[in-house]
Amino acid sequence: MCLAIPGRVIEIDGDQAEVEIGGIIRRASLALCPPVRVGQYVLLHAGFAIQVVDEEEAQETLRLLQEIGDIGEIS
């Protein structure tokens, strides 16, 4: 029940947005979401955007994971 899926905001109209998830467009409420811009990703849960996804942090996590692999290959 606590599932939330990342989707890209493609249009904002007041506190409503259209969010694209894997090619499907869904309408979502922005009533619970911190400020967001078109093009950013949000986590969608039960018809509400509940957070803006920090894409830099996502890249940083992937970089860290790659680093763990590199250390493993050296040692």
According to DSSP, the β-strands at 16-21 and 5-13 are antiparallel
Q: Among residues 37 and 72, whose Cβ is nearest to other proteins?
A: 72
Contact with other proteins (CB under 8 A) among 13, 14, 47, 74: 47
In 10 A of CB 45, how many CB atoms?
16
Residues 6-25 contacting other proteins, CB under 8 A: 6, 8, 21-22
Phi, psi (rounded to 5 degrees) for 13: -135, 95
Binding residues vs other proteins (CB under 8 A): 1-6, 8, 21-22, 29, 31-34, 41, 43, 45-48, 50-51, 53-55, 57-58, 60-62, 64-66, 68-69, 71-72, 75
